[in-house]
Amino acid sequence: MNAMTRRQLLAAPLLAQRSPSGKPWNILWVSCEDTSPDLGCYGDAYARTPNIDRLATQGLRYTHAFSTYGVCAPCRSSIITAMYPASIGTQHMRSQGVPPPEVKCFTESLRAAGYYCTNNVKTDYNFAPPLTAWDEVSNKAHWRNRPAGAPFFAVMNFVVSHESQVRAPEDVYRRNTARLTPDQFHDPAKAVLPPYYPDTPLVRKDWARLHDNITAMDYMVGDTLRQLEEDGLADSTIVFFWGDHGRGLPRAKRWVYDSGTRVPLIVRWPGQIAPGTVTDRLVSLLDLGPTAISLAGVPVPRHMHGQAFMGPHSARPREHVFMARDRMDETYDIIRSVRDKRFRYIRNYQPGKPYAQYISYMDEMPTLREMRRLNAAGKLEGAQKLFFRPEKPVEELFDSANDPHEVNDLAGDPKYAAELTRLRLVHERFMKETGDLALMREAALLERMRPGGKWSTTEAPVLSTANGQVTARCRTPGASIAYSVDGSRWLLYSKPVAAQGRLRFKACRIGYHDSAEVASE
């Protein structure tokens, strides 16, 4: 990075808080499932991703962006709340958490600032999204549905790259990849496999299909960016492209290695970020929400663990990012990890359990079945055998910069003892500071959140009218309030509302049942 580019990058958080139109910047998230930086712009010569590569030439590419979990639900919980899941009780896969009262969906800050917030379409937060989270959440949600003149925050999420689509039936695979030209399909014979996979035709087929699906997703990214241009909004919209966690293959998805947690992140901010910029700044996906809030010119709530990396409320760059693994579907494990720009530290809290535990959904993947078959036959070699060790070490340490596949464990190497100690202390301090619930049994956690298994119900709002304004309050700690005018969509209540038309109010809190509906007199 040359000096001018570096100055431009560092200045970016302080630049214009208004778009060329004179209005607040629109913000668009283009997210995808189960995608590592297996993209052309990240140096993957096997990839065919022209639209994403073009976006990278127009903006800023992050080389050190990471998810908090290697699987969707807890990771998406961290994104929507900007909180570590293990601190708020949403760490187990497909659980129904009850976060502390201060925890809300970060989009409430944007809606309160006048943004029209849409999600097309995935939530999967380990709790049901409250009424106050989105203006629209459906497969038809789009910025084009916003009220005239309103700035928007829009999410477009593409699932074609999900692990399930790698092993989808042939007709589904053909439908997913129908737009690919003949030269865009990936030849399995030319695949460059990670060293921990056996080199067999079946494994190569999965690797090629993974990349075919990413190319199909790239078409969808291109469609979305063209819609933005057609609407004349490209110059007034900040675009983020990111993956929710690493690739959907064994020893990647669900694991805290780079293969499961390192993700692509590209930001295009017209006129504010120099085209083709690259940074090694450490970013966690739970920083995305605070960054959107900051770009809207709104202070970031102080309780959030996430930190803005752009905008007027940008924080200092991180020195470390943190990842975790807890229950995955029917199988329990407890793993925590710390990553800086070079090293990865892993602490296995249940070292007696093997890596290759059975998870029914995960075991549908042909690559994993092939690995299990070859392991049983004693035909795996070298790094291919690592995943099938009968136990895990208590600690692992990898020089990820020089060992990108993280197969050479340095935890027992005296030359790296100082690094091991340093990152162990960072991990232990982090666990204490964030109140990590790693060692609490899930049954005890559920009892604490819902005594006797009973769901709490948010109290109904209490209304008062004075000077032509209706004020709503709720006695349930942490509750948010939604209101509707004359049967219209639910709006976020953030200040008194004019007493006109038929007003309905409802209170909600994450992890609670909604309140009864009340109407103003």
Same domain (yes/no): 138, 153: yes
With 70 as the cut, is the pLDDT of residue 263 above it?
yes
Residue ending a domain, among 288, 303, 318, is 318
H, E, C per residue of 367-431: HHHHHHHHHHCCCCCHHHHHHHCCCCCCEEEEECCCCCCCCCCCCCCHHHHHHHHHHHHHHHHHH
Domain span including residue 83: 3-163+237-318
With 70 as the cut, is the pLDDT of residue 391 above it?
yes
Same domain (yes/no): 132, 243: yes
Predicted local confidence at residue 521, as pLDDT: 73
The whole-model pTM stands at: 0.96
Number of structural domains the chain divides into? 3
- Cβ atoms 105, 117 nearer than 8 A: no
The active-site residue, picked from 72, 105, 117, 474, is 72
Same domain (yes/no): 334, 306: no
Distances 331 to 348, 357, 369, 392, 454 between C-alpha atoms, Å: 15, 7, 18, 16, 25
Question: Distance between the two ends of the chain, CA-based, in angstroms?
Answer: 63
- The dihedral region occupied by 5, where left means phi > 0, alpha psi between -120 and 50, and beta the remainder, is alpha
Same domain (yes/no): 50, 124: yes
**CATH number where 27 lies:** 3.40.720.10
Residue ending a domain, among 288, 318, 348, is 318
| Nearest by Cα to 185 from 221, 213, 164, 223 | 213
**CATH number where 473 lies:** 2.60.40.10
With 60 as the cut, is the pLDDT of residue 204 above it?
yes
Listed as own residue / partner, the contacts of 195-200 with beta carbons closer than 8 Å and 24 or more positions apart are: 195/382, 195/383, 195/384, 195/405, 195/407, 196/251, 196/383, 196/384, 196/386, 196/387, 196/405, 196/407, 197/250, 197/367, 197/371, 197/384, 198/370, 198/371, 198/374, 198/379, 198/380, 198/384, 200/370, 200/374
pLDDT one-digit tens code per residue, 153-189: 999 999 999 999 999 999 999 999 999 999 999 999 9
Tell me the sheet residues that pair with 117.
153
- Cβ atoms 110, 153 nearer than 8 A: yes
pLDDT one-digit tens code per residue, 37-73: 999 999 999 999 999 999 999 999 999 999 999 999 9
Same domain (yes/no): 266, 342: no
- Domain-embedded: residue 174: no
The share of the chain scoring above pLDDT 70, in percent, equals 97
Average pLDDT over residues 363-387: 98
With 70 as the cut, is the pLDDT of residue 213 above it?
yes
- Domain-embedded: residue 199: no
DSSP code of residue 438: T
Burial of 35 (0-12, 13-18, 19+ CB in 10 A): buried
Same domain (yes/no): 398, 496: no
- Domain-embedded: residue 132: yes
Q: Is 72 considered catalytic here?
A: yes
What is residue 459's three-state secondary structure? Answer: coil
- Domain-embedded: residue 58: yes
With 80 as the cut, is the pLDDT of residue 205 above it?
yes
Same domain (yes/no): 399, 479: no
| Nearest by Cα to 8 from 272, 395, 259 | 272
Same domain (yes/no): 135, 88: yes
Residue ending a domain, among 449, 473, 499, is 449
Average pLDDT over residues 395-412: 98
Question: Could you count the other beta carbons within 10 Å of the beta carbon of residue 466?
Answer: 9
Degrees, nearest 5: CA angle 169-170-175: 100
Same domain (yes/no): 485, 415: no
Predicted local confidence at residue 473, as pLDDT: 98
Predicted confidence band at 16 (pLDDT cuts at 50, 70, 90)? low
Same domain (yes/no): 358, 492: no
Same domain (yes/no): 14, 152: yes
- Domain-embedded: residue 56: yes
- Domain-embedded: residue 225: no
- Cβ atoms 71, 106 nearer than 8 A: no
DSSP code of residue 307: -
State the Cα–Cα distance between residues 495 and 472, nearest whole angstrom. Answer: 8
Same domain (yes/no): 471, 404: no
What is residue 149's three-state secondary structure? Answer: coil
Backbone angles phi, psi at 312, to 5 degrees: -65, -20
- Domain-embedded: residue 310: yes
Tell me the sheet residues that pair with 32.
158, 243
- Domain-embedded: residue 290: yes
Computed over every residue of the chain, the mean pLDDT equals 96
Degrees, nearest 5: CA angle 467-470-475: 130
With 80 as the cut, is the pLDDT of residue 13 above it?
no
